[in-house]
Structure 1
Amino acid sequence: MSADFQGYEQDYGVLTADITNRIGKIPKLAGGESEEKKQMVMNVEKQLEEAKELLEQMDLEVREIPAQSRGMYSNRMRSYKQEMSKLEADFKRSRIAYSDEVRNELLGDDGNSSESQLIKLREERAHLLDNTERLDRSSRRLEAGYQIAVETEQIGQNILENLNQDREKIQRARERLRETDTNLGKSSRILTGMLRRIIQNRLLVFVLGIIIVITIILAIYFSFRGH
């Protein structure tokens, strides 16, 4: 694993720890519209964006790792992304959560606010929490879809690598076949030449045999004729 990934990983750990700490403070800040609370929310939003950018950089680094060694780091990335989804969900809840002081500001410290206002407030809070849960589920489904896409891409890369290896093997086999065919052609020409010479030698022996027989017959003939 490269040093870049380790650096991103350390930065991500420090950043998420700070985000978690700030998210826990948001509901406790006085007044939903106070400057301190607005600034805290803005800071957390910026930090979440920085954390997402770090995750993207880490994801790119993981993709550069050979497929056979990528599994462990892919699991770590999956955990980091799940942690990011949880941080975003906690941040949304912290922004809509009401502290005791905010609730008192809405209902009045004297306790004379009507019960219907309190019920309405609880219903609105429940509705917001329900929407947050739906967003969380949607985020998890998107994350699962993204993970499937990444795994599919990895499988596709492995298949392409296997196909390239098979193609190279086929090309090497074709080259060997061509060499074998060339060698067979040379052997065929050599055998043809040898066969031609054998036939020529046999014809020469046959002709020499006829000449010898004729010579012997002529010698015998002239011998008898002389007597």
Structure 2
Amino acid sequence: MASLIESYEHQYFGITSEITSQIGRIPNLATESKQNAISNVDRLMEEAKELLEQMHLEVRGLSSDIRPKYTNRLKSYEKELERLERDYRKSKSAFSDKVLREELLNGEECTQFENQRSRLLDNTEMVERMGHSVDNTFQICVDTEEIGGQILSDLHSQREQINRSRTRLKETDAMLGKSSRVLSGMMKRIVQNRIVLICIVLIILITIIVGVYLAVHKTKKD
């Protein structure tokens, strides 16, 4: 299932790259070509959203130990798509402003050429910024994945420590139970020995008393 998500990711990267390229071209295309480019970008936007929805469905079916990694990636992809939508709206607005300026200039070709060159430079800078932003987003995804992996590793180690502590507690409890039984047995034997000792002492005393009594009684008879 993770390989399917990665396949969706490759498709998503290809679509967003095409969207970025189209957005940079829109302000400098002829009217008909611009309309086609806008329609193409609208279609690509829908495809990107559908891919994100498919990835969301696949992520829900992942096991809990790897799901956070792909969830963080999806959040980054959603933010990137939102940024592309904002740039797309700006690009369409720039297209509308340019058409209006061309109608007002009424064929002033030199001025129009300068304006087009200026806008081309601006658009080139915007495309470069978009490229840097995509690189930054990818780096954030990689860093987030590493942090998530480290957190999962730490949680796994802590769980093992807790299990070992639980095992030691069980062993200690068993040893305490055994020691308690041994002590109970020793106390019983001590009590029994004391009872036997008391009985022996009583027998000796009774024997002495009887012996003394018999000796005294015999003396009186004599």
Short-chain TM bin: 0.5 to 0.7
Give, as a single letter, the amino acid of the residue that structure 2 aligns with 1:50: E
Residues 21, 150 of structure 1: alpha-carbon distance in 2 compared, 3 angstrom cutoff: closer
Q: In the TM superposition, what whole-angstrom CA distance separates every residue of 1:72-130 from its partner, at most 9, and x where no partner exists? A: x98xx8xxx8xx99xx8xxx8xx99xxxxxxxxx9xxxxx954x654543332122101
Deviates more, 1:189-198 or 1:176-185: 176-185
Q: Which residue of 1 aligns with 2:197?
A: 202
Structure 2: give runs of 5+ residues left out of the alignment.
93-101, 103-107
In proportion to residue count, which structure has more helix? 2
Is residue 12–residue 48 contact of structure 2 (8 Å, CA) maintained in 1? yes
* Counterpart-to-counterpart distance in 1, 2:191 and 2:5: 80
Which residue of 148, 161, 164 maps to 2:143?
A: 148
Q: Which residue of 2 aligns with 1:38?
A: 35
Instruction: Look up the SS of the partner of 2:30 in the other structure.
Output: coil
Give aligned-pair identity as a percent. Answer: 15
Give, as a single letter, the amino acid of the residue that structure 2 aligns with 1:191: M
Give, as a single letter, the amino acid of the residue that structure 2 aligns with 1:183: K
* Counterpart-to-counterpart distance in 2, 1:191 and 1:213: 33
Under a length normalisation based on structure 1, what TM-score does the superposition of the two structures give? Answer: 0.55
Give the C-alpha shift of residue 183 in structure 1.
3.4
Which residue of 44, 50, 53 maps to 2:47?
A: 50
Q: Does 1:190 align with 2:190?
A: no
* Counterpart-to-counterpart distance in 1, 2:160 and 2:177: 26
Q: Does 1:211 align with 2:206?
A: yes
Give the C-alpha shift of residue 49 in structure 1.
4.0
Under a length normalisation based on structure 2, what TM-score does the superposition of the two structures give? Answer: 0.56
Is residue 5–residue 58 contact of structure 2 (8 Å, CA) maintained in 1? no
Q: Which residue of 2 aligns with 1:99?
A: none
Structure 1: give runs of 5+ residues left out of the alignment.
97-105, 107-111
